[in-house]
A and B are shown apart, each in its own frame.
Chain A
Amino acid sequence: MKNFVDMYDVSLRYGEDGDGTLALEHATMRVDSGEFVAVVGPSGCGKSTLMKVVTGLWAPTAGGITVNGKEVDRPLSIAGMAFQNPTMLPWRTTLENVMLPLEIVAPHAGKLKRERTGYEGKARDLLKLVGLTGFEQKFPWQLSGGMQQRASICRALIHDTKLLMLDEPFGALDMFTREELWLAMQDIWLARRPTVVLVTHDLREAVFLADRIFVMSARPGRMIAERKVELPRARTLSMTYEPYSVALVQDLRDHISAAREAA
């Protein structure tokens, strides 16, 4: 589907009386269904605000958003979110953590009791996809940071998620774990084809994972550039060191540096 996410001319100002910070200004972004998009930009450019606007947690001050052809005017339950902090609940096992959204989201919450085994199978499949088989009954604090983050992504996908919103999900991990998770993320995406919006600081990460990359300006944020990543799937880590990728990273860097200086 063309324009699965259609964010047009969105501005967002914090505060109710209209004198708060302007976080987004005339930001426009269109994402096709099943597409993997990355958003990069200087620190504090409103990338996280963008997440909240798209998922309907905050209403834009001006402009509008449609997702799947419907105007977003309330929290969007077809969306799943994962953040830098995996926010697993320490009193639940990994499996129970992954299944948390099912206890809340509308069609599943009613059926969960009766169809428990089926849903558990779904959760186990997802955990298998990210290499967490055997850790279902472990508690989050028995998992490494990278494993917690994998589980957090599973949690974001469990409720038949159509739109996956990732806010620097790999930002707190070390380099090697991060690359492992890029590969895991790519596997998930290739297997399930959700629409993904990834907010990140890491340009190599954006190039490795995304079909298209948006560059945001410094606050107030808007899209100042858009680049297509012409790398075949499934991608390998070594591709990110090929001249094509290096040049793309350079190009993105230049845009962000320019945006930072303009601020």
Chain B
Amino acid sequence: MSEIVVASPPHRRRKFTRNRHFRRVLPWLVVIAIFLLWQLFVDGFRIESFVLPSPTEIFAAGWQWKGPILVNSWQTFMTTAIGFVAAIVFGLVAGVAIGSSSLVYDGFYPALVGFNTIPKVAVVPILIIWFGVGSIPAIITAFLLSFFPILVNVATGIATVEPELQDVLRALGASKWQMIRKVGLPRAMPYFFASLKVAITVAFVGSIIAETVGSNAGIGNLMLVASSRFEVPLAFAGLLVTGAMGIAMYAVAGAIEARMTGWATRGSGGNT
């Protein structure tokens, strides 16, 4: 009898963690738990609001300043989106070029790696000298940060086509472009969409860096102004909004990925 008693609890517990609804709410529970701990920490140690504001203060500030936050988030969102779209176009084209030709790869890749290593914060002042204070430096910074992961992933997908498959196609008389279109590009799509999730988040980082260094609009600018006026809860509210936008865009990229390349993730229930 005792065996049954011992055996049943782990069974039940496993069922609970596998529960779909539980999985769905789990991320929210984690976020709420973080905020709760944060609140307790700030209240418990009586930390001043200009050092670390509590979540309630942050939300209050966010509500109070909802107008400017909305306007500036929209600005940041737009600069990010434009830079990101440019990064997709450039990343795809350059990725195909680099992935399909070892000549282009050998020639350009080292320079690209070098370029990618340059901290983009250092570039923003130059962009401001060239284009003035405004949206354009932010768009370009978002682009500069986000094209590299896209490019590298597309190039990898195209360069790693199985040699046997290349032989089959070459024997049929396939042109380079046919091999890219029929095999290389479809094959690179899972890599491409995976890279979008990384790229969209770094694009946000790029926009906000540029807005912080020199701009008159956007969440980055709002946070800069807020902290210069010691409105620390507002600065934190800006951070939260940025994080939320990042998660939302990541989710959109993830949903597109699941739709477009379900064949690549068939292991996890996509067995249609």
Could you tell me if B171 and A89 are in contact, using CB atoms closer than 8 angstroms? no
At the interface, yes or no: B165 with Cβ under 8 Å from chain A? yes
Q: Which 10 pairs, one residue from A and one from B, show the smallest C-beta to C-beta distance?
A: A83-B164, A87-B165, A104-B172, A77-B173, A104-B174, A55-B171, A91-B263, A75-B171, A87-B164, A90-B263
- Whether A60 sits at the interface, judged by CB under 8 Å, is no
- Of the 9-residue stretches B148-156, B178-186, B201-209, which lies at the interface with chain A? B178-186
Closest-CB distance, A155 to chain B (whole angstroms): 8
Q: Is B61 an interface residue (CB 8 A)?
A: no
Residues of A in contact with B (beta carbons under 8 Å apart): 52, 55-57, 74-77, 79-81, 83, 85, 87, 89-91, 100-101, 103-106, 139, 141-142, 155-156, 159
B171: chain A residues within 8 A (beta carbon): 55-57, 75-77, 79-81
* Complex alpha-carbon distance, A71 and B12, angstroms: 72
A101–B179 CA distance with the chains assembled, in angstroms: 11
Q: Is the CB of B182 within 8 A of A103?
A: yes
Q: CB < 8 Å: which of B172, B178, B183, B189 contacts A77? A: B172
CA distance A91 to B271 in the complex (A): 13
Q: Are B182 and A87 in contact (CB under 8 A)?
A: no
**A90 partner, pick from B168, B170, B174, B264, beta carbons under 8 A:** B264
B43 an interface residue at 8 Å Cβ cutoff? Answer: no
13 A–B contacts, CB within 8 A, in A order = A75-B172, A77-B171, A83-B164, A83-B168, A87-B165, A89-B187, A90-B263, A100-B182, A101-B168, A103-B178, A104-B173, A104-B174, A139-B263
- Measured CA separation A106–B172 after assembly (Å): 9
Q: Which residues of B contact A142 (CB under 8 A)?
A: 271
Find out whether the CB atom of B178 lies under 8 angstroms from the CB atom of A104.
Answer: yes
With A85-B162, A104-B172 already in contact, the answer to whether A52 and B182 are too (CB < 8 A) is: no
From B179, which residue of chain A is reached at the shortest CB distance?
A104
CA of A74 to CA of B174, assembled, Å: 12
Tell me whether B266 is interfacial, beta carbon within 8 Å: yes
Distance (whole angstroms) from the CB of A109 to the closest CB of chain B: 9
Using a Cβ cutoff of 8 Å, how many contacts connect chains A and B?
Answer: 64
Contact of B164 among A85, A90, A100, A104 (CB under 8 A): A85
Consensus secondary structure, chain B interface: helix
Q: A87-B162, A89-B186 are in contact. Are A141 and B266 (CB under 8 A)?
A: yes
Do the beta carbons of B186 and A52 come within 8 Å of each other? no
**Complex: A103 Cα to B271 Cα, angstroms:** 28
User: Smallest Cβ distance from A39 to chain B, in angstroms?
Assistant: 17
Point out the residues of chain B lying under 8 angstroms from A77, CB to CB.
Answer: 171-173
Q: Are B172 and A105 in contact (CB under 8 A)?
A: yes
Residues on B with C-beta less than 8 A from A74 are: 173
Decide if B167 touches A57 in the complex (CB within 8 Å).
Answer: yes
- Interface residue B213 (Cβ < 8 Å from any Cβ of A): no
**A57/B165 contact (C-beta < 8 A), A89-B186, A100-B182, A139-B263 known:** no
B residues near A81, Cβ cutoff 8 Å:
164, 167-168, 171
The yes or no answer to B169 lying at the interface (CB within 8 A) is yes
Contact B168 A87 (CB under 8 A): yes
Residues in B neighbouring A90, C-beta threshold 8 A: 263-264
Q: Of B165, B186, B264, which is in contact with the most chain A CB atoms at under 10 Å from its CB?
A: B165
Shortest distance from the beta carbon of B264 to any chain A beta carbon, whole Å:
7
A123 to chain B minimum Cβ distance, whole angstroms, is 15
Q: How far is the CB of A139 from chain B (nearest CB, A)?
A: 6
Contacts of B187 in A (CB 8 A): 89
- Given A81-B167, A87-B165, A91-B186, answer yes or no on A101-B172 (Cβ-Cβ < 8 Å): yes
By a CB distance below 8 angstroms, the chain A residues around B164 are: 81, 83, 85, 87
Q: A183–B169 Cα gap in the complex (Å)?
A: 27
Report the separation of the CA atoms of residues A85 and B162 in the bound assembly, to the nearest whole angstrom: 9
Give chain A residues whose Cβ lies under 8 Å from the Cβ of B189: 91
CB nearest to B183 among chain A residues: A89
Chain A residues, Cβ within 8 Å of B271: 142
A139 to B271: give the CA distance in the assembly, Å.
Answer: 10
Q: Which A residue's beta carbon lies closest to that of B186?
A: A91
Q: Do the beta carbons of B183 and A52 come within 8 Å of each other?
A: no
Distance in angstroms between the alpha carbons of A139 and B261 in the assembled complex: 13
- Near A by CB (< 8 A), chain B positions 216-272 give 261, 263-264, 266, 271
Which residues of A have CB within 8 Å of B178?
103-104
Do B172 and A159 touch across chains, with their CB atoms under 8 A apart?
Answer: yes
CA distance A249 to B186 in the complex (A): 45
* Interface residues in B120-155 (C-beta closer than 8 Å to A): none
| Complexed CA–CA distance, A65 and B182 (Å) | 30
A103: B residues at CB distance < 8 A: 178, 182
Contacts of B168 in A (CB 8 A): 81, 83, 87, 101, 155-156
In the bound complex, what is the Cα–Cα distance between A76 and B261 (angstroms)?
Answer: 33
CB-based nearest A residue for B261: A91
